[in-house]
Structure 1
């Protein structure tokens, strides 16, 4: 599986993360066939869930005039994935992680999502 595809799948799985009845294993089973399970995808998903409090704090520290819970679910999930990659996984260069998040935001978010994601992640990466 290509990394872009893994990031998109991770977004689809982590999208409902803030719902009370979120069940990680059910979300993974619903979105991924057994033959499509990919190490990188599972690292993203499990890493975001395991480090959610630290990731959310890092994102919150770089939001201006916004709170994490006011963000659209797509933007919040993308920021969590990219923040995990930037600070906890560090397997790809930061500019690649940021560009991927922006591109995925253009596909799954609204017209302003890419610009917003870029602004937050760029502040974090300084």
Structure 2
């Protein structure tokens, strides 16, 4: 598994944990940063995970608006917490990280959804992200 794939999993863990606990993602990120300091072997994945979470924090209203606009009759608060986190990560990569091709962001998000969410989540997330990708 690539360092960026591992980073996405770490970012997912942080965003999911914050959402489920009703905590600010920045607080969960700070706790994870303290733990990551003792794991130098995982530094490459940690740096990108932090970039993702910081990006989601900085752009959350824009990301949530894009998700809501393209999710076709699904309110953000009705989506499983894992799906919300996966979508926020992918939309941030699509809109704010020029190093990640849209197709890669979508594929990685679908794989995370298949591994950590419901049976239907992969196709739901693919559909939302494909619509966002088309609309730019």
**With structure 2 as the length reference, what TM-score do the two structures score?**
0.84
Q: 1:59 & 1:69 partners in 2: Cα distance?
A: 11
Aligned-pair CA distance for 1:119: 0.5
Please, what is the CA RMSD of the aligned residues?
A: 1.8
Q: Does structure 1 residue 109 correspond to structure 2 residue 114?
A: no
Give ranges in structure 2 of 5+ residues lacking alignment: none
How far apart, CA to CA, are the structure 1 residues paired with 2:5 and 2:30?
Answer: 17
Aligned residues: 126
Distance 1:20 1:91 in 2: 31
Aligned structure 1 segments of 4 or more residues deviating by more than 6 angstroms: none
TM-superposed deviation, 1:16: 3.4
Deviation at 1:76, TM superposition (A): 0.3
Which runs of no fewer than 5 residues in structure 1 stay unpaired?
A: none
Report what 1:6 is aligned to: 7
TM-score under structure 1 normalisation?
0.90
- Superposed, which structure 2 residues align to 1:37-56 within 5 Å? 37=43, 38-56=46-64
Q: Report what 1:57 is aligned to.
A: 65
In the alignment, is residue 22 of structure 1 matched against residue 30 of structure 2? no
Q: How many Å separate the matches in 2 of 1:48 and 1:80?
A: 6
Shift of 1:27: 4.0
